[in-house]
Structure 1
Amino acid sequence: MTSDLARTIAHARTLEPVGSPCTDICKLDPESGYCQGCLRTRDEIRAWKTMSDTHKLATFDVLLARLDTTAPHATPIRTDDA
């Protein structure tokens, strides 16, 4: 997820108007409240289309900060042969 979101944000910054950080993994994490793909909150997702480009660019910085502080979801590794 880390590289996908960073890559999506880098591309979205180059678009006119500013593009979306959506990575097509649209599922809210019940614990954090962040989308598992783009790390936006439900309110940020709803507001995206009406945000100014300046606000969108600032939100990218917030998302990248979240990316740095949000631990990736660990998948348990099975050690038995069952």
Structure 2
Amino acid sequence: MEYSNVSETTILNDKISDAQKSNTLPTIESPCIKVCKVAPDGKYCIGCYRTLDDLTKWSRASNQEKQQILDAAISRRKSLEAQS
């Protein structure tokens, strides 16, 4: 499929539609931003806000589990930003 001058939403919808037809969904990409450093308290990565346990689970996690990890990381980041 040619994607010149097509919105990102349209492209994503096409990919999801194709994946549903083949009975698979796109894999959720890692939120890693290549700033891999553990916070001073040792509980999470300061780059992506995933816990060390989340980092080790990621490669074997289902899309549902990955989404839960991402949701927790976003919540963690927002909470920490509100504290500072």
TM-score band, normalised by shorter chain: 0.5 to 0.7
Higher relative contact order (CA 8 A, sep 6+): 1
Separation of aligned partners in 2, 1:32 and 1:64:
18
Separation of aligned partners in 1, 2:55 and 2:43:
12
Deviation at 1:41, TM superposition (A): 1.2
TM-superposition CA deviations, 1:12-40 (whole Å, max 9, x none): xx992111010110000121511010011
TM-superposition CA deviations, 1:35-80 (whole Å, max 9, x none): 01001111110110000001101111111111110138x8xxxxxx
Q: SS where residue 81 of structure 2 aligns? A: coil
Separation of aligned partners in 1, 2:52 and 2:42:
11
Mapping for residues 8-19 of structure 1, pairs under 5 Å: 16-19=26-29
Identical counterparts, % of pairs:
32
Partner of 1:10: none
Give the unaligned 5+ runs of structure 2.
Answer: 1-15, 17-24
Length-normalised TM-score, structure 2: 0.62
Q: Which amino acid aligns with 1:64?
A: I
**How many equivalent pairs are there?**
60
Give the unaligned 5+ runs of structure 1.
Answer: 1-13, 75-82
Length-normalised TM-score, structure 1: 0.63
Alignment pair present for 1:21 and 2:68: no
Partner of 1:47: 57
Instruction: Work out which of the two has the higher radius of gyration on C-alpha atoms and give 1 or 2.
Output: 2
Q: Tell me how large the CA RMSD over aligned residues is.
A: 2.3
